[in-house]
């Protein structure tokens, strides 16, 4: 399943092989032993895992990377990012230090580290195909590594860094004295050169430090104080990962024939940022809520802008075109509207046509979406899943007279702002943020920004009262998640923490 590196074949075994029969020998591989919590991902995985683990582990890691990306898009401070990401890491990709176990690196720690290790390599396969994906992946993996590095136990961190055997030159005392003044002048905040240990490296290896003019560069060498060790490690992490990804991208065509992995990898790379892989059938429903044909009007205040727009258009025109009907029907199914009520809802909404026309033109499509008629055997009885943001954002842009799609993506900015104002979003800062998000094509971030503005008091209350924590409030990437979270937040009085956990 994974690429192997010939240089990792045990050298003693290699020496002992009969040269003529070597080509028929079974190679043995170096196994990662997970002595350290942190990982530079130098050794590709070699053990077998199931296809389910392959997909699930990758999805869990992708979720973390997408959340880190959302935090950086929203300009969250390091403290806010830590508060957001810590519970999600605990839930999806925990990685405890050795001190967390009294019996050393026990099976639980090994399992966590294996998942971290393998999921990184699976996503390498998914995100090595284009330069844009490679760049984003390196950036987010470096953020994750940095976050974990800073959280690590200091003794374990030191042992990990030592294990990496970096070939950094330690600056000799004589050279340090020689450079004295120049070192002090070029290194902000330093009073005496002997307060610090120093490394000497080629300047290209620490571009970030060179760029922020925080170190002395002389004759191609950068002089880096010990406290900037993290920058050096990150530069090394980035450089190695960039190289490895290019290597992987060249090897990718060889995977083309693997029809088990290619669809999974393809799906993962398409969902980078707005992963919809975590949505399961029935997940958007809110047990106990009164959801029927007559309550859709009232419930529509909890709908995201895409569905709110469809609802408003339907009320205005007593009609929606095919793709709008399909997008909206699947969403309504997702919030828990029964087929019978959905048929009543559409029949009443198309008030300008008679029963015969409704039955001949529209009834079948609604039943089909619910899986009541037609479809393949897999979908019978279930129909199609509600569309995710990813699908709405990328599939089938609306043409003239069509109302499906995502307003953040498919409306002009002026029309988008007017629609937001019509739904009660008038806050100048939020609208400005939306304009900026949309300009940078971060549509789902704009949608989450609006959600947070509209629900800011309820969000505060839910957190203060411990009904929801950060792990329940990850970035919304599905219209049905938007509805459900909105509904729950506006009905906090009726909910307990257990209700939220049961339904998220």
**Residues interacting with ligand SF4, by CB under 6 A?**
304-306, 389, 392, 406-408, 443-444, 447, 479, 482
In degrees and rounded to multiples of 5, residue 263 shows phi and psi of -60, -35
The distance of closest approach from Cβ of residue 483 to ligand SF4 in the complex, given in angstroms and rounded to an integer, is: 9
Nearer to ligand SF4, 265 or 389 (CB): 389
Taking the complex as a whole, the smallest distance from the CB of residue 445 to ligand SF4 amounts, in Å, to: 9
Does the annotation flag 342 for ligand binding?
A: no
- Which ranges constitute the DSSP H helices of 383-427? 389-394, 407-410, 413-422
Min. distance of Cβ 502 from ligand SF4 in angstroms?
Answer: 23
Residue nearer to ligand SF4 on the CB measure, 68 or 393: 393
Per the CB < 8 A criterion, the answer to whether 477 and 275 are in contact is: yes
CA atoms within 13 Å, Cβ hemisphere of 157: 13
CA dist 91 and 66 (Å) reads 15
The residues, ordered by sequence, that sit 6+ positions from 464 with a Cβ below 8 Å of its Cβ are none
H-only helix segments in 74-223? 78-92, 107-126, 131-151, 154-163, 173-186, 207-211
How far is 498 from 185, CA to CA, in rounded Å? 58
User: Do the Cβ atoms of 215 and 208 come closer than 8 Å?
Assistant: no
Q: Based on CB atoms, which residue is closest to ligand SF4, 222 or 305?
A: 305
Q: Are 480 and 283 contacting, i.e. CB atoms less than 8 angstroms apart? A: yes
Cβ proximity to ligand SF4, 113 vs 308, nearer residue: 308
Residue 305: which of 369, 365, 386, 392 has the closest Cα?
A: 392
Nearer Cβ to ligand SF4, position 261 or 299? Answer: 299
Annotated binding-site residue? 406: yes
| Closest distance of CB 479 from ligand SF4, Å | 4
**CA angle at 137 for the pair 272 and 247, rounded to the nearest 5°:** 120
- Give the chain's length: 504
Shortest spacing between CB 140 and ligand SF4, in angstroms:
20
CA proximity to 383, closest of 330, 420, 342: 330
Residue whose CB is less far from ligand SF4, 89 or 389: 389
Q: Which is nearer to ligand SF4, 369 or 392 (CB)?
A: 392
404 in Cβ contact with 324 (< 8 Å): yes
Query: What's the closest the beta carbon of residue 265 comes to ligand SF4, in angstroms?
Result: 24
Residues 6+ apart with CB under 8 A from 445: 70, 73, 74, 437, 475
Q: Least Å distance between CB 424 and ligand SF4?
A: 15
- 117 or 404: CB nearest ligand SF4: 404
CA distance 320 to 225: 65
* Residue 444 CB, nearest approach to ligand SF4 (Å): 4
Q: What is the CA radius of gyration of the chain?
A: 27
> Which residues belong to the annotated binding site?
306, 389, 406, 447
> Which residues belong to the annotated binding site for [4Fe-4S] cluster?
306, 389, 406, 447
């Amino acid at each position: 399943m994974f690429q192997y590196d010939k240089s990792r074949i045990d050298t003693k075994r290699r020496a002992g092989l009969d040269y003529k029969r070597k080509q028929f020998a079974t190679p043995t591989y170096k196994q990662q032993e997970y002595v350290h919590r942190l990982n530079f991902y130098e050794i590709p995985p070699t053990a077998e895992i199931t296809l389910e683990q392959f997909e699930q582990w990758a999805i869990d890691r992708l979720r973390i990377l997408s959340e880190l990306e959302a935090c950086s898009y929203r300009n969250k401070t390091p403290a806010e990012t830590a508060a957001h990401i810590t519970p999600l890491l605990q839930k999806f990709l925990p990685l405890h230090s050795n001190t967390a176990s009294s019996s050393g690196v026990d099976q639980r720690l090994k399992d966590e580290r294996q998942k971290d290790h393998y999921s990184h390599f699976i996503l390498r396969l998914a995100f090595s195909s284009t330069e844009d994906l490679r760049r984003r992946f390196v950036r987010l993996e470096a953020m994750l590594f940095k976050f974990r590095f800073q959280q690590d136990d200091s003794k374990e961190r030191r042992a990990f860094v030592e294990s990496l055997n970096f070939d950094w030159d330690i600056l000799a005392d004589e050279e340090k004295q020689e450079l004295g003044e120049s070192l002090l002048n070029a290194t902000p905040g330093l009073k005496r050169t002997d307060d610090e240990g120093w490394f000497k490296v080629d300047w290209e290896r620490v571009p970030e430090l060179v760029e922020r003019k925080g170190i002395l560069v002389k004759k191609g060498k950068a002089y880096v104080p010990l406290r900037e060790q993290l920058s050096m490690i990150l530069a090394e992490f980035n450089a190695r990962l960039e190289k490895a990804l290019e290597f992987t991208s060249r090897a990718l065509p060889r995977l083309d024939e693997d029809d088990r992995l290619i669809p999974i990898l393809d799906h993962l790379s398409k969902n980078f940022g707005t992963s919809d892989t975590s949505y399961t059938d029935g997940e958007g429903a809110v047990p106990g809520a009164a959801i029927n044909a007559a309550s859709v009007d009232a419930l529509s205040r909890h709908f995201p802008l895409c569905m709110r727009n469809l609802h408003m258009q339907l009320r205005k025109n007593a009609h929606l075109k095919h793709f709008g009907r399909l997008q909206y029907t699947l969403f309504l199914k997702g919030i828990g509207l029964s087929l019978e009520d959905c048929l009543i809802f559409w029949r009443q909404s198309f008030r300008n046509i008679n029963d015969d026309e409704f039955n001949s033109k529209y009834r079948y499509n609604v039943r089909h979406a619910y899986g009541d008629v037609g479809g393949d055997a897999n979908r019978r009885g279930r129909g199609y899943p509600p569309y995710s943001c990813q699908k709405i954002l990328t599939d089938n842009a609306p043409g003239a007279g069509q109302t499906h799609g995502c307003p953040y993506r498919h409306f002009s900015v002026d029309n988008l702002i007017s629609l937001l104002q019509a739904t009660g979003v008038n806050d100048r800062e939020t609208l400005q943020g939306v304009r900026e998000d949309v300009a940078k094509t971060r549509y789902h971030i704009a949608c989450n920004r609006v959600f947070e503005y509209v629900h800011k008091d309820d969000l505060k209350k839910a957190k203060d009262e411990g009904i929801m924590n950060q792990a329940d409030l990850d970035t919304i990437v599905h219209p049905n998640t938007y509805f459900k979270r909105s509904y729950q937040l506006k009905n906090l009085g009726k909910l307990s923490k257990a209700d939220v956990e049961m339904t998220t």
